[in-house]
Amino acid sequence: GLAWTPVGGDILFIEATRVAGSGRLILTGQLGDVMKESAQAALTLVKSHASALRIGAASFEAIDVHVHVPAGAIPKDGPSAGVAMFMALASLFTDRAVRHDVAMTGEISLRGLVLPVGGIKEKVLAAQRAGLRTVMLPARNEKDLRDVPEATRQALQFVWLATVDDAIRAALGEDGSRPRD
């Protein structure tokens, strides 16, 4: 994920795992209320896309989902990690890894829309500093790319997201569903 901070952009690593449990969503990493809500929305969105992702309904039963954003001493908040949270959970439930060279930002709606966010210049520069090659951004933020230095725009590939389906295709490949047995 990509984050805006008062001193520039930063990279957020988002980890997700499932363990035996009772259907709880466990969130750790000093997340603020808005980021917690983004994680809850992301899990609901993965569940609503379960059929398209070829995730069986039983995959959500009798388990707890734990989402952790490392660097726990640093407070994190805001809605712009929604796409990254969704992709971490989609990856978890489809058993498909998100491409290692991709960064992403964007708020999500429960209908799967990717909504615009702030701090695009700082976030894109952070992705470049981290050596990432592809940046997934909300389509409605395309106008903000003009604030990014030309050399950075040329060095990166941009994927414009209107919906989370666009994110699935870009980060997991094809339709992102679990490979057929």
Taking the C-alpha atoms of residue 115 and residue 160, their distance in angstroms, rounded to an integer, is: 11
- What are the b/e assignments for 24-54, b being 16+ CB within 10 Å? ebebebebeeebeebbebbbebbbebbeebe
Taking the C-alpha atoms of residue 16 and residue 91, their distance in angstroms, rounded to an integer, is: 9
Beta strands 8-11 and 25-28: pairing type?
A: unpaired
123 as an active site residue: the answer is yes
Q: Which of 80, 91, 121, 177 is catalytic?
A: 80
**And the tokens for 140?**
């409605």
Q: Catalytic amino acids?
A: 80, 123
